[in-house]
Amino acid sequence: MNSAIDSAESLVTIDNWRPRQPSSNYVMQGLATKKALDTYHLILAPTHACNLRCRHCYLPDHAAQLLPEAVALRLVEEWSEVSLDERGAFGGIFHVKGGEPFVVPYLKKIMERLVELQSLRLMLTTNGTYTSAKVLESLRKCNDGLHGHVTVIVSLDGAFSATHDALRGAGQFEITVGFLRSLRAMNVQAHLNCVLHAGNVKEVPAYIGLAKDLGVDQINFLPLVPKGFGIELQSMQVPHLVLHRELQAVYETGDQATKKLLAGSLSHILDREETEHVTPAHECVAAYRGLFYITPEGNVYTCPNLVNTEHKIGTVYGASLRELCDSLPTLYANLRPQAGFDDRLICTGERVLYEKTGQTLSLQNLRSLQAKAGSPPTLKSESRKAVAFCVSRNF
Ligand SMILES: C[S@@+](CC[C@H](N)C(=O)[O-])C[C@H]1O[C@@H](n2cnc3c(N)ncnc32)[C@H](O)[C@@H]1O
Ligand code: SF4
């Protein structure tokens, strides 16, 4: 039997890379030597329209503009071809977020086409407020048709109704928890997104208890990014290092089930490095091959956190997804940080945001997080094994 080190190396060596079956704990993960994600991931925001008006929402608006159905369905076909060629069956994810995916009139058609194709996994990020029998049945059918290759990420922003509802509106906590229980009953894999801020960070232990009760597979604790509507809550932002320390403490004292739920958090990544001798490059995965974020206007970026004009790769009207994939190395080269800092580890989207807005304190905090996690190895030393994680995980 291979040792942990052997198996870790065989997992990440570029030459023997093989598409992996989905793990229950999904992490945005890439092959740094190839500048490519190991599981391809296209994130489509077909609209910014939404039934809620969350106070922290990073979107710039809730406009009703909708990517035309024909374009969205063409993207399914194109992504299926690219992912099948480069990652094999179910080695790619078609991820619908928004806005709210369940307001998209053609969501069901996307799901049906994915079942016909049998090539891509489906991921949805939802506020979990569409709980009708019709919606639940469409999810159950798609999950069965894709043999369990469906992950629903549900946003739950607190362990209690007071904190969740403070951001998302009165009564929303109960509705969303009900939705999560329905997913559990249907055996659909569920993850939780929780945006952490000064008002809920102390609830992390209670939140983990709730996640266990709800039987979810993973929790993504996300830092509050002061963008869009969320600018108003900037004063609620918790310094990155403080957030990390809070999570680290919970991780260290937690049982195995807790650690498993936090897989993908920085604490877990650092723990794996120490205990399993894995040396991930944990470089920001922006501009990696196999990662796209597409807006209602059809603009293409490589990350939902990096949507500035200068980081636009193109539009879905001007190029195929394969052509857009081929244009990524240029963007990757341009994303490298300013002289004097090796910021490859930290989230490029956040770094650019703070540089643009002159928020030096937030930038310093981001860099102190990087210092805590350690400098990424040089490309030379990572040539044998190189796994990169999206530390911010704002997906
Ligand atoms: C923009 S929402 C779209 C999907 C869906 N409407 C929902 O709320 O889950 C995608 C994810 O981003 C998170 N998010 C929104 N605003 C954020 C912010 N300012 N900082 C970090 N994450 C944020 C949401 O909580 C959600 O988990
Ligand atoms: S975070 Fe999601 S549910 Fe809330 S307003 Fe934004 S898009 Fe809507």
Q: What is the pLDDT of residues 181-205, one digit of tens each?
A: 999 999 999 999 999 999 999 999 9
Q: Does 9 have pLDDT greater than 60?
A: no
Which of 3.30.70.1450, 3.20.20.10, 1.20.1440.230, 3.20.20.70 would CATH assign to domain 34-333+344-389?
Answer: 3.20.20.70
**Atom 14 (ligand 1): residue with closest C-alpha?**
57
Q: Does 362 have pLDDT greater than 80?
A: yes
Counting every residue written for the chain, the total comes to: 395
More confident residue, 44 or 14: 44
* Residue 98 beta carbon below 6 angstroms from any ligand 2 atom: yes
Q: How far is the CA of 183 from the centre of ligand 2 (A)?
A: 20
Output 84-87 pairs: Cβ under 8 A, ≥24 positions apart. 84/119, 86/36, 86/40, 86/289, 86/290, 87/19, 87/38, 87/39, 87/40, 87/290
Neighbours of 23 (CB within 10 A): 13
* Residue 36 beta carbon below 6 angstroms from any ligand 2 atom: no
Predicted local confidence at residue 372, as pLDDT: 79
Cβ-contact 319, 337 below 8 angstroms = no
Judged by DSSP in three states, 47 sits in: strand
Q: What is the pLDDT of residues 81-99, one digit of tens each?
A: 999 999 999 999 999 999 9
Cβ-contact 3, 275 below 8 angstroms = no
* Residue 125 beta carbon below 6 angstroms from any ligand 1 atom: yes
Cβ-contact 83, 97 below 8 angstroms = no
More confident residue, 338 or 194: 194
Query: In ligand 1, which atom is closest to the CA atom of 154?
Result: 9
| Average pLDDT over every residue of 102-126 | 98
200's tokens: 């809920």
Predicted local confidence at residue 202, as pLDDT: 95
134 CB-contact burial (10 Å; exposed 0-12 / middle 13-18 / buried 19+)? exposed
pTM for this prediction: 0.91
Nearest-Å Rg of the Cα atoms of the chain is 20
Task: Identify the sign of the CA torsion 274, 278, 4, 256.
Answer: positive
How far, in Å, are 67, 112, 267 from residue 179 at the CA level? Answer: 27, 21, 29
* Helices marked H in 29-153: 69-87, 107-117, 133-145
Predicted local confidence at residue 395, as pLDDT: 54
Which residues, at least 6 apart from 103, have a Cβ–Cβ distance to it below 8 Å? 47, 49, 50, 51
Q: How far is the CA of 153 from the centre of ligand 2 (A)?
A: 13
Q: How far is the CA of 154 from the centre of ligand 1 (A)?
A: 10
Query: Which ligand lies nearest the alpha carbon of 63?
Result: 2
Task: Please state, rounded to an integer, the average pLDDT across all residues of the chain.
Answer: 87
* Residue 147 beta carbon below 6 angstroms from any ligand 2 atom: no
- Bridge partners of 93, per DSSP, are 41, 121
* Residue 168 beta carbon below 6 angstroms from any ligand 1 atom: no
* Residue 363 beta carbon below 6 angstroms from any ligand 2 atom: no
Query: In ligand 2, which atom is closest to the CA atom of 58?
Result: 6
Predicted local confidence at residue 82, as pLDDT: 97
* Residue 33 beta carbon below 6 angstroms from any ligand 2 atom: no
Q: Which of 43, 44, 58, 359 to mutate to test the pocket of ligand 1 (most atoms within 8 A of CB)?
A: 58
Which residues, at least 6 apart from 264, have a Cβ–Cβ distance to it below 8 Å? 25, 26, 27, 218, 220, 389, 393
Q: Model confidence at 15, in pLDDT bands (50, 70, 90)?
A: very low
Q: Model confidence at 32, in pLDDT bands (50, 70, 90)?
A: confident
- Give the start-end residues of each E strand in the chain: 29-31, 36-44, 92-96, 120-126, 150-155, 189-196, 218-223, 289-294, 299-301, 314-315, 387-389
Q: Model confidence at 280, in pLDDT bands (50, 70, 90)?
A: low
Q: Which of 44, 51, 52, 227 to mutate to test the pocket of ligand 2 (most atoms within 8 A of CB)?
A: 52
Residues 62, 57: Cα–Cα separation, whole Å: 10
Q: What is the pLDDT of residues 202-226, one digit of tens each?
A: 999 999 999 999 999 999 999 998 9
Q: Which of 107, 191, 222 to mutate to test the pocket of ligand 1 (most atoms within 8 A of CB)?
A: 222
Q: What is the pLDDT of residues 116-129, one digit of tens each?
A: 999 999 999 999 99
* Residue 155 beta carbon below 6 angstroms from any ligand 1 atom: yes
Q: How far is the CA of 111 from the centre of ligand 2 (A)?
A: 21
Predicted local confidence at residue 344, as pLDDT: 75
Which residues, at least 6 apart from 245, have a Cβ–Cβ distance to it below 8 Å? none
Q: Model confidence at 318, in pLDDT bands (50, 70, 90)?
A: very high
Predicted local confidence at residue 390, as pLDDT: 73
DSSP-assigned states of every residue in 138-178: HHHHHHHHTTT-EEEEEE---SSHHHHHHHH-TTHHHHHHH
Q: Give residue limits of the domains in the chain.
A: 34-333+344-389
How far, in Å, are 112, 129, 318, 322 from residue 315 at the CA level? Answer: 25, 31, 5, 12
